[in-house]
Structure formats: C-alpha cells, structure tokens
Structure 1
Amino acid sequence: MRKRSKHARAASVLWGSLLVALILFSLGWVYRANWITGSLEVETAQTGSIDHYVTVKAIFANEEYVIQSPASGKVELLGKEGQRFRLGEPVAQIHPEGAAPGSNTQRQTAQVSMPKGGLFFQKVDGLESVLTPESLVNMDLARILEQQENSEAPKDTVQAGVPLGKVVNNLSPTVAFVEVEPSKDLSVGKTVKFNLDDQIRTGKILRVSDNPKGIVVRFNQYLEGTVNKRIQSVQWVAKPSETGIVIPKSALYTKGEELGVYVVQEGILQFRKVNVIDENDSLVCVNNLPQGIPVVKNPRSGIEGLTANVKIPS
C-alpha cells in the first residue's frame, strides 16, 4: 500500500507538472500571438490606379496682343482683370491729368476699345511678341527662351504710346515648351498628358528639340493661369496607369518562391498570392485580390493562421 501510494503521488506530481506546463505554454502562445498580431497594421484594398508623374518645367505661350494707350492720363478700367470683352467693346478710359473719373470732361477723355475679342490683362511683360505659339514652333528655341521678361506693376496713370494692357485669345490653344529628355516615345504627333492644378490636360507634340532639350506641345484648349505665370512646374504623365486593386507596396511579402500578401479572412490571417501589374515608390496595383479585403501593411513570418488581433478600417 505504501509503495502504491508513493507511485500514485509521483504520478500525480508528474501529471500536475505537465498540466501546469501545458497551461503556461498555452498562455505563452496566446500572449505571443496577441503580441505579434497586435503590432500589425491593416489597410483595406481598393480599386484604383497608380499615377506616374514626373515634375518638369514648362514655359507657356498664348496668342496675345498688346494695347497701346492712346493718350496720357489716369486709367479707369471698365472691367476686371482677366475678363472677356468683345471686339470693339470699351475696356478702359484715359482721363486727362486733373480730371477725375465721372467728371464733366468726357469729351476730353480717351476711350480704349478692344482691338480683338478676348481676355483683358493689364499686366504686360515684354514677351508678348517674342514668346508666341508660332515662335516656339518655328524659331530658334534657345534664343527665344533666353529672353527675359520686363514686367512692371500696373500703374494708375500712363503715358501716350505705352502699353495699357493686352488681349489674350482664349479661343486659341495654349502652346508650351516642356523640359523633358527626348525619347522615341516623345515624337512629333504623339499625344502627351500633364497634371495641372489637379486636372489632366492633353496636348500634341509639335516639335522635339535637342538644344534646349524638350518638346513643344499644343494643348487642346487655352489654359487658365498661363498668362501671368508663364513659367511653371507641371506634372508630366510619364507612363499610362493600369487599373486594379491598389495596396501599399510594404504589404508585399515573399513566402518561399511566391509573392503575395497577408489578408484577414474570417478573422484569420491568410497568405494570398498576387501578381503586380503596376507600381510606384509607395503603392502597387495587383490582381487576384477582391476589393475591400483587409491587407496587412507590415507583414512578417509566423503569422499564417493566427487570429487577427487588429482593427479593421471601416
């Protein structure tokens, strides 16, 4: 009896130790799994496309005509800067020195009418007859582009014969010289796209230049904001984008020889193989993923099959 009791106690201690070890192991595993999955970040996969923008310098030219003041005196504009006037419509009045606008000296006041229909701008920069759509296409680009603007702030009084302002034909397309490296994909007649102020603008290449390096583009329409700001940085759409499921590039994970991502499926972390069809520095466009599925942004080894202890974006 004593021998059996001794063996029974030993067995009880052994089984008790094993049970404690199993409990501790289970707690440790749960803690480890929660710790690993709790540090994961998740983002919902969405249908979209990836932009391929390259920031380049553009010099714009429009069809412009300078209006000379017919007399000396105080300027009274009859509209707003950038307003469109019809041909022959009065745009300003020049009051003789000492005569105030609205006084009884109208017979001495010179009226300025629009020589052409278009937008009126009071600011001139001296490049109106030099930097034109025609000169960008046909003349020495290096010499044209080295010309410096000579603009002054609009004045309240003017002298006879000096520029009062200019007319811009907004019914004629804007032309621009764009500083890009010429390539076989940038040839005369090709269509190119640019992102200007979050709007995609399309144009056709009219000229390719090696000195200076770049292309001359005629856009499909007049571009607002290119009169008073001839030189701008624009975003050239250097490559067409593919449409698919867009996810962070950091979500890609190589498991063995397969490239894929970890997704949250029914609360469990699962590996899904994907094919990359487009990418940039931060995003990838893939297929083989459904829209709206949660994707792990910072995957790591050992998470396959774990319960997803993560906050799913709404």
Structure 2
Amino acid sequence: MNENKITIQKIAELAGVNKATVSRVLNGSATISQKTKEKVERIIKEYNYTPNTIARGLAVNKTFTVGFCHDYKDKRAFANHFFYKMLQGIENVIYDNDYLFLMMSRHEREDGTSMFERVVKERRVDGVILPSSLYNEANYRLLKEHRMPFVVLGEREFGHSDVRWVDVDNRQAAQLLTERLYENGYRRIHLYTDQEAIARDKFIADRIDGYNRTMEKLGLPAFVATSVGELQARGTEAVICCTHEQLFELLKETADGLPLPDAELGTFDENPMFQYFKRTVHYVSIDLEKMGEQAAHLLLSIINQKEDVPHFVQIPAFLARTSDFE
C-alpha cells in the first residue's frame, strides 16, 4: 500500500492499539512493551509508512534535528582528515536514531548575528555539538539562556561544571608513546611542540603533562623543546611531536640541513602520508570516528532526558607503528 494511503489511525486499528501508542512507538518511547512495539513496527514496515517529521515534531515539541557548529574561517579544519572522521561518527549515530543533521557556521550577517545564534534562538535544532575552539563564555550564555542541550568536542578549561564534553585521553596517549620509546631502548626522549600551542590548546598541555609524568615515573629527565636547535643541543635520541604539523616541520628542517639522523620519531594518530616516509614513525592511534559517535550519543541522551548521563567521555588511544620503508 502507498504510504500516503495509510495513516496512524489505520496503523492503530490494524495493531489493535490506540493512536497514542503508535505515536509513542514512532517517538521511541521506553514505556511501550516489546511485544506491542514489534507489532506496530511490523505493520509500519509492511505498509511502508513514513511519518511526517514536521507533524511528528509538533506533537512532541521537537525538531528531530541535531546541529554541528563550525568556524568557516578555520581552513585548517576542512583540510584535516580528523575533522571528517569525527563528522562521520556523529552522522552514524544521528541518522541511526532518525534525526537530521544540520551544519552551521559562525559566519556573521550584516546585523552582527551568526547563523549559529539564529538557529539556537529560533530552536531550529534539539541540540548542538560544537568544537572546543568555539566554546566561550558568550556561546555558553547563549546556549544556557535558550536551554539548548549541547556537547563540546574536546576538553578545555570550561569554567562551568555543567558542560559535557568528549575527548581523547591525551595524557594516556602521551604515556603510551613515551613508554614505547623507552622499551625500545631510548633514554633521551624529548617532546617537540611550539610555544603558542602550549598556551592555546589544552590537548597540547595534556600531552605534555602525560609525557612529564611518564618520564618522572621512569626516572628520566623530561625536556619540552620548541625548536629543532634545542633538540640537537640536547642530543635527542627520540622525539615525540605533539601534532602532525610539528612532525612535518621537524622533517622539513631536517631536510634543510638541521639533521637528527638517528632520532626515533613519535606522534599522535596516523596520517596517510606516513606510508611514504623513509623513517619509522611510532604513533598512538586515536579513534576519531568513535569520538564523534560518543558525542552524538551523549547529546541524544541529554535531549531525551536519560538518567545518569555522564559529564564527559574520554576515548582511549592504542599503540601502532608505521611499517618500515623498503
């Protein structure tokens, strides 16, 4: 039967229940027995019924849409494969739960407002996921004022105990890398980053903290370098680069005549370019798709007012290593 010729009333009659029960099944209510749910869902499938999302939303005061806010000026994010891995994870969960997914930017209009602000104020979505780079006091006040559920991708110094977030366990990741290099016989293990990143990015600070703690546990002196020259002066045997950008910068400077020919390399997460390297790179693999999935699960739990929703979720890393170049 064509979906336009079947109504909720007809489904209710065929299932031997009332319209309210069918609506609760469509809205995923946990108060319906499994037997009744299966009976209603079987009829819905048989008649190829597709609920009207707008009408469904009006009935329960929802849009069945989740928003993701991004900074359109951040060109690095769109060029970064990490960004798309996280989006894939978010979409996996959102679509599996029959929600729509809306991407919006902080692009400001002539009146000084952004699309993000408009979507929140007009309640075009049921909840928002935003990267930690866009979390600030103004956005926090906006979201709280309009009672908009939200989850932050990436930990930072929030200043508010009610902010829920998902991130990689960066301290644990740094510990794994440092211990791997130690087990391989290296003792002068140094960490490489840049001064601006230390002050700007909490994940960098967490990686440094994880490295420092591990070196202390191993009884070795820790050293954080912000230039290749510092690494050379220290006689570095193994270097952990906090980001891929810093790893590529190190390799470029090495090619330009500042060699660290015998230094073992380590970094965080894999990169398609590693297969072309002439040196082995140790790295901790980070499941960014899972990070996106967990953020979406956390947000939907808040939207649906589930009990015992955690305030944060940390994704563990695991060790990997590129194949040696042949």
TM-score by length of 1: 0.24
Return the TM-score normalized by structure 2.
0.23
Give 1 or 2: higher strand fraction: 1
